[in-house]
Amino acid sequence: MTFDWLIVGAGLFGSVAARQLTDAGCRCLIIDRRRHTGGNVYTERVAGIDVHRYGPHIFHTNSEAIWQYVQRFGEFNHFVNRPKVRSGDKIYSFPINLLTLHQLWGVRTPAEAAAKLAAVRLPIPSPRNMEEYALSQIGEELYRLFIYGYTKKQWGREPRELPASILKRVPIRLTCDDNYYRDRFQGIPIHGYTAMIESVQHGIPLELGTNYLDDRDGWRQRARNVLYTGSLDALFDYRFGPLEYRTLRFETEVLDTADFQGNAQVNYTDAEIPFTRIVEHKHFAFGTQPQTVVTREFSSSWTLGAEPYYPLADETNRARHGQYCALADRDGICFGGRLADYQYYDMHQVIGAALCRSERWSRGVLGQHRAG
């Protein structure tokens, strides 16, 4: 055997696991079918600006241990995510906070805002879907302005066809706090995520443009263990049917202007505007370059072969995913990450899971791949 571990996927999960296993004395090789490293956190330099190729990535965590861990691989700036909402010709503070309500209704204090909200909420004691839930929390006007059009574009369905649980809670604050994440730690790697990931992978061999599925038997002969971070349905040739996702399309352009929108992220909530947001990448790094790079993000339904982004984790898909997990367990394949776990994970969650599982794997505990 040439390697102790073949790591399929050079994204955050695969890279962190490879680092930990290597540091524990294992010989690892990372492969990725893409021609670049980093998976979805990949950033590339365009006009001197770090462009987040697969959507804007803001690192945030409440865990001091995870924050300390990422500091090992690069310095972070103090970016705080304060997205704005554009509807018609107006720009609103977001997530909905006292300033937003002042912009809309002229209220000036938390007490005035609370009274107005109580007056506009619809009396729906047992909301049956997302629309009813939102109306019961924030009323018709805020629902139409901030939730209806955006949700329809993002999920391709009417909010009344979606479960209330998607919203979990309507983010509404009666203070002027517009810090989206509110975590203890937040920022963006000063030299970009690609440099950070390269630092995580330092000294570990990496083969890009290499699809594990093209020669799985060959790979399994070269490595004692496999850690797979791709989609499990693809690994098993869609035996139980494909797992469903929403996909995204990004339209990026370089503009000969120093500042396009004055903020990193502006969400477009009107249903008639085809994209969900415009990202202006230089603002993640407080850039002062003479040009700027902006990306419009479009959400659409996923078909086999398209890039999977957001899992449609309804009951059918979850059950199907469970069947694939059982096959991976049977074949002794370790797995993890957003694709293999079929979960929407933020970066700190991916790192946490990779640290936890690789610690067990390095001790030779190869069962219970999904726990932790």
Site of interaction with ligand FAD (CB under 6 A): 8-14, 31-34, 39-41, 55-59, 211-213, 229-230, 248, 309, 337-339, 345-348, 350
CB of 259 to ligand FAD, least distance (A): 21
> Nearer to ligand FAD by C-beta: 98 or 312?
312
Q: Catalytic residue among 173, 320, 338, 357, which?
A: 173
> Nearer to ligand FAD by C-beta: 170 or 188?
188
List strand residue ranges (DSSP E) for 221-273, in order. Answer: 223-228, 245-255, 265-268
In this structure, are strands 90-93 and 3-8 parallel, antiparallel, or unpaired?
Answer: unpaired
> Nearer to ligand FAD by C-beta: 93 or 229?
229
Q: Catalytic residue among 35, 169, 330, 363, which?
A: 169
CB of 231 to ligand FAD, least distance (A): 7
- H-helix or E-strand spanning residue 13: helix 12-23
Active site residue 82: no
Q: Catalytic residue among 246, 296, 318, 360, which?
A: 246
Long-range contacts of 282-287 (CB under 8 A, 24+ apart): 282/49, 284/50, 284/52, 284/56, 284/58, 284/79, 284/188, 285/49, 285/50, 285/77, 285/79, 285/188, 285/190, 286/77, 286/79, 287/48, 287/49
- Are the beta carbons of 222 and 6 closer than 8 angstroms? yes
CB of 123 to ligand FAD, least distance (A): 36
Structure tokens at 138: 């924030």
- Cβ-count burial 89-121 (b if 16+ within 10 Å, e if not): eeebbbbbbbbbbbebeebeeeebbeebbeeee
Active site residue 224: no
- Are the beta carbons of 277 and 267 closer than 8 angstroms? yes
Active site residue 35: no
CB of 102 to ligand FAD, least distance (A): 27
d(CA 370, CA 357): 8
Q: Catalytic residue among 178, 233, 297, 341, which?
A: 297
Active site residue 161: no
Closest Cα partner for 349 from 372, 322, 320, 321?
372
- Are the beta carbons of 8 and 228 closer than 8 angstroms? yes
> Nearer to ligand FAD by C-beta: 83 or 149?
83
Active site residue 216: no
Q: Catalytic residue among 346, 359, 360, 370, which?
A: 346
> Nearer to ligand FAD by C-beta: 105 or 236?
236
CB of 76 to ligand FAD, least distance (A): 13
Active site residue 297: yes
Active site residue 45: no
> Nearer to ligand FAD by C-beta: 93 or 276?
276
> Nearer to ligand FAD by C-beta: 131 or 183?
183
- Are the beta carbons of 44 and 53 closer than 8 angstroms? yes
CB of 25 to ligand FAD, least distance (A): 23
Q: In angstroms, what is the C-alpha Rg of the chain?
A: 22
CB of 354 to ligand FAD, least distance (A): 8
- Are the beta carbons of 86 and 260 closer than 8 angstroms? no
Catalytic residues: 169, 173, 246, 277, 297, 344, 346
